[in-house]
Amino acid sequence: MKKLLPLFCVLGVAAQPAFAANDINNLQALLQSEFRALSEDLGSALSYKPITPAEPLGITGFDMGIEVTATKMSKSEQAWKTATNSSSGIGTLYVPKLHVAKGLPLDIDVAAFYSAIPTTNIKLTGVELRYAPLPGGVATPAVAVRASYTKLSGVDQLAFDTKGLDVSISKGFAMFTPYAGVGQVWVSSAPAASTGLSGESFTQSKVFAGVNINLGMTNIALEGDKTGGTSSYGMKLGFRF
């Protein structure tokens, strides 16, 4: 894990415009329509990304890793420039995370992550509770239902959080476990009163698919996600047992 952390830190920093400050501190300069577009892209980028198959970890199981997700700011690239009072803005938002999951009895898993996004004042935390009514077996797939929550911090002008529900299915084949799922995300984006903007609350549909590759002492997971019509791609590198 110590070897993986510098790699992902480098990826996260290099992915943003070179050492440019992109703090969200100028929301008052946005039109309401621009704030809505920014909120939709943030909902796509900052909502929960599982990057894990549906099968439960089991009471002794852990899944720990460093991950990065990338989301194209397709609706709000210009709004980013205005909101951050920057000439560069952010075309693609890269979110590095430290992610830990633990298996519990009764095919229940809990997980949490923490993120501090380089070159911005965005910090993000997330949690999930997942239950597998069908834990899967040699000949049968696993099916899981997940409730999730993420919350932004560090941005004085914005209170932002997401809530999610999804169902996923996976089936292991040797070291490979492909998975897919669908769900819904509820976004709450509340600007400070001083900005003169109104809050935005809305829902976004979600579909995702990926594959987990277990190489013994190393675990790799790759995932594609489309939330609110905006695509994200993620990779997690760590340990799963």
pLDDT tens track for 35-63: 999 999 999 999 999 999 999 999 999 99
Q: Which residue has the higher pLDDT, 110 or 91?
A: 110
The continuous run of DSSP H or E covering 235 comes out as strand 230-240
Residue with tokens 């409730």: 147
- CA separation for the pair 104, 101 (Å, rounded): 10
**DSSP sequence for 154-165:** S-TTEEEEEEEE
What are phi and psi for residue 77, nearest 5 degrees?
A: -60, -40
**Rounded average pLDDT over 131-138:** 94
Using the predicted structure, report yes or no on whether residue 200 has a pLDDT greater than 50.
yes
- Residue 131: alpha-carbon gap to chain centroid: 19
DSSP state letter for 90: -
CB contact at 8 A, 79 and 40: no
**pLDDT at residue 127 in the model:** 98
pLDDT for the residue numbered 11 = 47
pLDDT in tens, 64-105: 999 999 999 989 989 999 999 887 778 899 999 999 999 999
Half-sphere exposure (CA, 13 Å, Cβ side) for 42?
31
pTM for this entry: 0.89
Q: Residue 75 and residue 36: Cα distance in Å, rounded?
A: 9
CATH architecture for residues 4-236: Beta Barrel (2.40)
Q: In this predicted structure, what is the pLDDT of residue 20?
A: 55
